A and B are shown apart, each in its own frame.
Chain A
Amino acid sequence: MPKPNQQPRWKQRLATNRDARRWNLTSLALTLPLLLLGYFYYGVSALHVAVVSVLAAVLAELLFGRIFLRKNTVGDWNAVVVGLWIACMLPAFIAPPEQYSMLGNYAVWYAALGSVFAILVVKIPFGGTKHMPFSPAAAGFAFLTACFPHRVFTFTASEVVAPVRSRSMALLLNLGENAITPQNLPRILFGHTSGPMGTGVILLIVVLLVVMLLLKSRRSYAMTSVGFIVAVAVLAFFFPRVNPGVDGMNMGLRVASIGMEFFSGSLLFAAVFLLQEPSTLPDRWHTRLAFGALAGGLAILLRRLGTFEENVVFAILLANAALPVFYRLMDEWQQQQIFRRKKAAAETEAADA
């Protein structure tokens, strides 16, 4: 078996600590613009949530990594990224008192709890950044969703611009309403909606995905997100959740349903960031495409059947759990290729003889 550095680039994953550090620093650089926009929209409370979440993740990794793994794994920056991603999916403030204080903001405590859960339960027991079978940020947010569903989906309007509707886009979609109109569309794309603090700016997330596709080191990973987005778009087109109304379902409503799926909740953010966790992906770019499509199908299924306002993190965790099946399929495919090659060579030899 060739060593990781001898493998082609598209087949490489995080082979060394240096690779892991580079990957996580790139992810951090790509996530920071979202946080800055969150700060612009929601003020200092967004920064409080992000800083506490990151600090909790780093401290948990320092402590539990030292106890369980007997080494310091903070240097790969993964804890920072996990903390930041969990913070991005939370509201900027939950039930704040009249006079805002950091400790009175429940979102800060929930972010810390989710980060500690992600590191303690999902990351450290499996051996750290290069070996974790599930996306820790997805698991951390899923834990918060299961434990405090009424709190983590209580969104407050932005201080800067009023949202399109008072309800969140995910709730509107669950009710079958369509919030997309030609007048609203630019405001929705720029994140003037009621929702999580770092996942609402659709346009920026799309730009970040394009950047990932242009970066040579991230391209094959970004194929997972492409597969996810295509699957969600196709399924949302054929199985729209927007109520048809009196005129019945037409092409416009189907397209609006696709838009509502992407613009609501943390779906696009999860597709672009959480799904691309290197240790949870198959090896080849086309298998990653299929893996992303599976996750997209599960996301649509869970959004239709799930009880929570946002279920995409559960879809990602389920897709992560299905990874061994992908490895099995890949192995069988490789064995078939080898067999065919040997058979062709034998037939050629026989014909020559």
Chain B
Amino acid sequence: MPKKTKRESVLRGAWLDNPMLVQAIGLTPAIIATTSLRMALWFSLVTAIHLLACEIVASLWLKKWQSWARTAVYFAMGIVLAFAAGMLFEVWGGFVGQTDVVNLLVLRAILPLMATSSIAAVRCERFAVYNDLRASVRDALVNAVGFTGVMAIMGLLREGLGHGSLFGIELTETLRIRGFWMPFGGFLLLGFLAAALKTILQWTSQRGITKDADEAMEFAPEDRQQRLEKIHHLLNAADEYEKSRKPEDEIPPEPQPEEPQPEPKPVSAVFEPATSNFTREFPKLDDLTIEQLLAEFQGGARDE
């Protein structure tokens, strides 16, 4: 597998594999938090800190833990962080005025949701536990940048169009489309932003600026590695099972009524190569692409 450069990794994390628009993770708290720009930025900051802390911990100490135990650690860290952030926002958050107090209350209500936000768990499980500290920190930062960018755009549009204000300062009283402020408006906006991202990628790929959009948005390299490992594990398990089968486990064939024997065919027509994929040796994992491995595995399943 060709190694990705730093520039490609950054581009992929923040743009091609944007956590909200492409991976579609952490959506629900984000939809609630983007009713105002200030709230969206604060929430993004806390999420970024949570993500960074989780990826560092996962990369350094949690690689040999069970998956469920790691997830519990991410949630515990999220709870601690949400509690601390809620306390800090009250003092230093800059939430003054009646609307801001409501926003602060909403923010404090949704911060615990961040503890169970899937963004930290997904990035740690997909990336941090398979990579070193430096790569994990970079992944956390680029994903946080991608997340914050989308949150800022949504906060700007939803507060501006839905409430007619910006950073709590009222701009207009007439242009207030309440739908943008409501959750369905947030989801619609998110869908249109995702479509816009896809369109931009297609436009740039048609002009040779980036790679083919479909190829670029297929899935991340860490997913590829994880999928390869899962498939390899499955194939090994099937191989072990095939070897451990005893003759008495096999169901005896039903007695068939005797049929008249056909005339013997020439040897070349009778010979057939072995069809079981589970009895032959596999090539090394690194030599195969995922498409080849999948094709072999599916072919073997069909033969069985």
Report A's interface with B, CB cutoff 8 A. Answer: 113, 121, 125, 143, 146-148
Contact = CB atoms under 8 A, between A and B. Distances in A.
A146 B195 contact: no
Most chain A beta-carbon contacts within 10 A, residue among B179, B182, B184, B188? B179
A148 B178 contact: yes
Contacts of A113: 177
B195 A147 contact: no
B179 A143 contact: yes
B188 A147 contact: no
Interface string B51-73: 00000000000000000000000
Contacts of B188: 121
Nearest to B191: A125
Contacts of B184: 146
Interface in B168-206: 177-179, 182, 184, 188, 195
B176 to A, nearest CB: 9
Given A146-B179, A148-B178, 9 more contacts: A113-B177, A121-B188, A143-B179, A146-B178, A146-B182, A146-B184, A147-B177, A147-B178, A147-B179
A147 B188 CA distance: 14
A125 B179 CA distance: 19
Nearest to A145: B179
Contacts of A125: 195
A147 B175 CA distance: 11
Nearest to B179: A147
Nearest to B177: A147
Contacts of A143: 179
Contacts of B182: 146
Chain B interface mostly: helix
B194 to A, nearest CB: 11
Interface string B152-180: 00000000000000000000000001110
A149 B153 CA distance: 27
Interface in B110-151: none
Nearest to A117: B179
A125 B193 CA distance: 13
A147 B176 CA distance: 9
Contacts of A121: 188
A190 to B, nearest CB: 35
12 contacts: A113-B177, A121-B188, A125-B195, A143-B179, A146-B178, A146-B179, A146-B182, A146-B184, A147-B177, A147-B178, A147-B179, A148-B178
A116 to B, nearest CB: 11
A313 B195 CA distance: 26
A148 B162 CA distance: 11
A113 B176 CA distance: 12
Contacts of B179: 143, 146-147
A68 to B, nearest CB: 9
A113 B177 CA distance: 10
B57 to A, nearest CB: 41
A148 B179 CA distance: 9
Q: Can you list the 8 inter-chain pairs with the closest CB atoms, starting with the nearest?
A: A147-B179, A147-B178, A147-B177, A146-B179, A143-B179, A121-B188, A146-B182, A146-B178
A57 B177 CA distance: 19
A89 B133 CA distance: 60
A64 B183 CA distance: 24
Contacts of A148: 178
A125 B195 CA distance: 9
Contacts of A147: 177-179
A147 B158 CA distance: 13
A147 B178 CA distance: 4
Contacts of B195: 125
A311 to B, nearest CB: 15
A113 B195 CA distance: 22
B271 to A, nearest CB: 38
Nearest to A144: B179
A152 to B, nearest CB: 12
A143 B195 CA distance: 21
Nearest to B182: A146
A35 B188 CA distance: 32
Nearest to B180: A147
Contacts of B177: 113, 147
A242 to B, nearest CB: 31
B157 to A, nearest CB: 14
A71 B195 CA distance: 19
A147 B181 CA distance: 9
B140 to A, nearest CB: 33
Nearest to A121: B188
A191 B188 CA distance: 37
A203 B177 CA distance: 36
Nearest to A109: B174
A67 to B, nearest CB: 10
B196 to A, nearest CB: 11
